């Protein structure tokens, strides 16, 4: 059972055992001591307090350097394949907390090449358009335009390519096969691609002409890429990038990861109030067969998508979330009420978000990394 | 015995059976009928008359289009790993004949990425420098600067990459393995690389916004790349490139291909008169153990590197080459005299070549394909 799940950069399925992932991937848990240390830099983000951001590589190392005055930069990204959904926003919200807390620059990679290579139905025109639209969602979250730059792979390839070549020269098919599960039917672009995702981890150093530490906030599903990146880093004369991993944002229908392949399970940032209401209305909950029975026996918030959404993102107040949890358990609140509250939260959030993403249209292209 | 040789884009060894290669690769022989047809466009190049350029794919097709007024462009290239040697010049001389005869534009690809990926000891700085130096040798041969453009992969990657991605998406590891002999230890850059070599075959069409036929003159060892390119071409909406193949230029020590990995077997375009003299002096010939015996029994020009050099490149006069052949066979000329004649030819050639390659320094960079 515990092993009955798959987590790769391109597939997340089954019931994820996040503890086992730490073991399998060889990452480290963010423990109480590290949380205490993080709290010294500013109020802990709810995702840290709640164990949603839960795993890391070399986070202490990068904080040690930071304490000594050596600033790091952030690097995260998005495979632009379509509309942004709430599951995409979650790690970006956390990334914004890191930018605010550490005053860090951010490289945000838009991997249009990846999405083209790994998706039969997408053209490069499709991914180009999605890259632009997705970037609006990033900036709508309030990143500092002075400290944030977008790297769209096909646009910035002249700079990325030599870095990628250096990585690629050190990675055998054997390694790629073992790490990503490739086989003989994998296309040769997909096999090469991890080199391109590695490049921004060294870009800061390359542009500055000296080694700059890099911290990558990302879903734990992206760790395989950066395991490869880290393995070759020292050999190329760079620091290994540090990582900080979040769990997957759940789908509305009870699945472990929100995914565009199930639109009814997914709330897009461009959804209307009506669409949100309908989707939340159909969400999977931990409710009982009847209101009567639920009042008597209580609900199960642990499996409830509606509760998880509050827990992951929308209810930042720890007391309020604890109260909601026990209200549900004790049958003091029914699913209808809970769905109504979440719908209101999301609708309010999206109203602001949609306005801000429209504002971003006027300046977004100025934030693209460009070549001579 | 016949199978005891290897011909891939990265390895040529053993005694090459060029007829068997046509069978193995599935190309077509340039027969008398096709030679007659080629003669209609201008005097046949000696390499065609002598069967040095001996194989093709779709050459009739591209001539049919040309006859109907549809011009084609030429595409060839060089992996810039060090000094240019005579073995490199040979197919370029033939390419120049094609440019002159058909008034064709030429894309000359400098595959610095390839050489970096496939050669443990080369850095990207090394290949960058070699690309520049090699281009001088190309232009020294007299290509039309108005009709010749260099594509250095890492410099022009923004244009090449989307084309390469489209190719890569259609080529599985299985295919790459079968065509190039890759295995699990091959690096993932090398696996991807063929997509980059494919791109210029479609670049002419891409830049013009309509399909333009492309003819690739190259060594038969490069055919595997373009077999892959041709396999995906129609699916991407392009013409398949046509090919015209030459045999390998022999090494001085009797080996089937001149190679920089054996410097003593190789005459570089930058060699001094003294170096040429020494290298030709040490060349492998078909001579006998003594002058006396050679006068009596005759030599063997068929295995003689010195004769081959005259045959491949330096003696363009068919009567003169036939005469030299029989003089050798009949013991009427000894190796010393033959070496002296070849040395003179090469020294004279290199004097002019070296002057012209210096002239090219002033304008060569203007011929580089550039991006916005």
Does the beta-carbon distance from B189 to A174 stay under 8 Å?
no
Query: What DSSP line would sit under A116-151, residue for residue?
Result: HHH-TT--HHHHHHHHHHHHHHHHHTT--TTSEEEE
Given this model, what pLDDT does residue A1 score? 38
Distance of alpha carbon B143 from alpha carbon B106, whole angstroms: 9
Q: Which long-range contacts (CB under 8 A, 24 or more apart) does A341-347 make?
A: A341/A310, A342/A280, A342/A306, A342/A309, A342/A310, A342/A314, A343/A276, A343/A277, A343/A280, A343/A281, A345/A310, A345/A314, A345/A315, A346/A86, A346/A267, A346/A276, A346/A280, A346/A309, A346/A314, A347/A273, A347/A276, A347/A277
d(C-alpha B74, C-alpha B159), whole Å: 18
Output B255 or B158, whichever has higher pLDDT: B158
Instruction: Determine phi and psi for B246, rounding to 5 degrees.
Output: -105, 160
Q: Are B168 and B128 in contact (CB under 8 A)?
A: no
Q: Which of A124, A188, A196, A232 to mutate to test the interface with B (most CBs of B within 10 A)?
A: A188
**pLDDT (0 to 100) of residue A4:** 77
> Is B164 in the A-facing interface, judged by CB distances under 8 Å?
yes
Contact B188 A177 (CB under 8 A): no
pLDDT digits (tens, 9 = 90+) for A333-372: 999 999 999 999 999 999 999 999 999 999 999 999 998 6
Q: Give, for B150, the enclosing helix (H) or strand (E).
A: strand B148-152
* pLDDT at B330 (0 to 100): 96
Residue B57 has φ and ψ, to the nearest 5°, of -135, 120
User: How would DSSP label each residue in B190-248?
Assistant: HHHHHHHHHTHHHHHHHHHTS---EEEEEEGGGHHHHHHHHHHHGGGT-PPPEEEEEPP
Do A80 and A140 touch, CB atoms closer than 8 A?
A: no
Looking at residues A250-272, what average pLDDT do you find? 83
pLDDT at B240: 98
Query: Which residue is it, tokens 């890492």?
Result: B154
pLDDT per residue as tens digits for the range B177-189? 999 999 999 999 9
Return the residue of B nearest to A172 by Cα. Answer: B187
Which residues, at least 6 apart from B115, have a Cβ–Cβ distance to it below 8 Å?
B79, B80, B81, B122, B127, B130
Q: Could you tell me which residues come within 8 angstroms of residue A12 by beta carbon, excluding any fewer than 6 positions away?
A: A5, A6, A221, A248, A256, A257, A259
A162/B contact by beta carbon, under 8 A? yes
State how far the Cα of A339 lies from the Cα of A310, in Å rounded to an integer: 10
Bridge partner list, B174: none
Report pLDDT for B1: 39
End-to-end CA distance of chain B: 53
Q: What is the pLDDT of residues B68-116, one digit of tens each?
A: 999 999 999 999 999 999 999 999 999 999 999 999 999 999 999 999 9
* Beta-ladder partners of A76: A108
pLDDT for residue A235: 97
Looking at chain A, how many residues does it have? 372
Query: Taking 80 as the threshold, does the pLDDT of residue B261 lie above it?
Result: no
> Is residue B2 scored above 80 in pLDDT?
no
* Furthest C-alpha separation in chain B: 68
Model confidence pLDDT, tens digit, residues A114-131 = 999 999 999 999 999 999
Tell me how crowded residue A290 is: count the other CB atoms within 10 A of its CB.
9
B161 three-state secondary structure: helix
A188 and B165 within 8 Å at the Cβ level: the answer is no
**How many whole angstroms separate alpha carbon B130 and alpha carbon B135?**
8
Task: Determine the distance from the C-alpha atom of residue A296 to the mean position of all C-alpha atoms in its chain, rounded to a whole number.
Answer: 38
Round to whole Å and give the CA distance between B5 and B256: 10
Q: Which residues of A touch B190 (CB under 8 A)?
A: 168
Q: How distant, in Å, are the alpha carbons of A124, A134, A268, B164, B323 from that of A127? A: 5, 10, 17, 16, 65
Q: Determine the pLDDT at residue B257.
A: 72
Q: Looking at beta carbons, which residues of chain B come within 8 Å of A114? A: none
H or E stretch at A217:
strand A214-219
Contacts of A155 (CB under 8 A, 6+ apart): A368, A369, A370, A371, B158
Q: Could you give the CA distance from residue B110 to residue B98 in angstroms, rounded to a whole number?
A: 19
Pairs of CB atoms within 8 A across A/B: 117
Mutation pick from A159, A187, A235 vs chain B, by most beta carbons of B within 10 Å, is A187
C-alpha distances out from residue A245 to A51, A309, B260, Å:
10, 18, 49
Please indicate if any CB of chain B lies within 8 Å of the CB of A146: no
Model confidence pLDDT, tens digit, residues A29-47:
999 999 999 999 999 999 9
Tell me, what's the pLDDT at A259?
73
pLDDT at A110: 98
pLDDT at B19 over 90: yes
If you compute the radius of gyration of chain B from its CA atoms, what whole number of angstroms results?
A: 21
Is B266 an 8 Å CB contact of chain A?
no
- Mean pLDDT for A246-272 is 84
pLDDT in tens, A268-294: 999 999 999 999 999 999 999 999 999
Give the model's confidence band at B307: pLDDT under 50 very low, under 70 low, under 90 confident, else very high. Answer: very high
Please tell me the predicted confidence (pLDDT) of residue A31: 98
Q: In this predicted model, what pLDDT tens digit does every residue of A184-211 receive, in sequence order? A: 999 999 999 999 999 999 999 999 999 9
| pTM recorded for the entire structure | 0.95
Task: Using the predicted structure, report yes or no on whether residue A3 has a pLDDT greater than 90.
Answer: no
CB B196 within 8 A of CB B113: yes
Residue B185 and residue A165: Cβ atoms within 8 Å?
A: no
B236, B170 Cβ separation under 8 angstroms: yes
């Amino acid at each position: 059972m515990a092993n009955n799940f798959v987590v790769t950069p391109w597939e997340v399925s089954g019931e994820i055992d996040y503890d086992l992932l730490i073991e399998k991937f060889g990452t480290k848990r963010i423990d109480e001591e590290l949380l205490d240390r993080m709290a010294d830099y500013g109020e802990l983000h709810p995702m840290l307090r709640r164990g949603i951001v839960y795993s890391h590589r070399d986070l202490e190392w990068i904080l040690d350097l930071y304490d000594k005055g050596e600033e790091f930069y952030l690097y995260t990204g998005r495979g632009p394949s379509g509309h942004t959904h709430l599951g995409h926003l979650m790690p970006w919200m956390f990334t914004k907390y890191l930018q605010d807390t550490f005053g860090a620059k951010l490289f945000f990679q838009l991997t249009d090449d990846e999405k083209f290579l790994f998706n039969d139905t997408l053209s490069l025109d499709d991914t180009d358009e999605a890259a632009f639209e997705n970037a609006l969602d990033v900036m709508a979250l309030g990143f500092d335009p002075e400290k944030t730059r977008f790297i769209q792979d096909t646009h910035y390839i002249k700079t990325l390519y030599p870095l990628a070549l250096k990585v690629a020269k050190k990675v055998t098919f054997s390694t790629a096969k073992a790490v990503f599960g490739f086989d003989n039917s994998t296309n040769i672009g997909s096999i090469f691609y991890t080199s391109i995702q590695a490049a921004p981890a060294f870009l800061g150093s390359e542009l500055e002409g000296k080694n700059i530490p890099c911290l990558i906030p990302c879903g734990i599903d992206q760790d395989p890429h950066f395991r490869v990146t880290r393995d070759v880093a020292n050999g190329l004369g760079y620091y290994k990038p540090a990582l900080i991993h979040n769990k997957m944002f759940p789908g509305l229908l009870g699945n472990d990861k929100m995914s565009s392949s199930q639109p009814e399970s997914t709330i897009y940032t461009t959804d209307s109030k009506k669409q949100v209401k309908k989707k939340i209305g159909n969400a999977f909950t931990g409710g009982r067969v009847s209101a009567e029975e639920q009042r008597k026996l209580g609900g199960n918030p642990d499996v409830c998508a509606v509760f998880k959404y509050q827990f992951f993102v929308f209810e930042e107040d720890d007391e309020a979330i604890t109260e909601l949890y026990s209200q549900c358990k004790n049958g003091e609140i029914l699913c209808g009420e809970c769905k109504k509250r979440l719908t209101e939260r999301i609708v309010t959030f999206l109203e602001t978000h949609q306005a801000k993403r429209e504002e971003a249209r006027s300046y977004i292209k100025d934030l693209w990394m460009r070549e001579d």
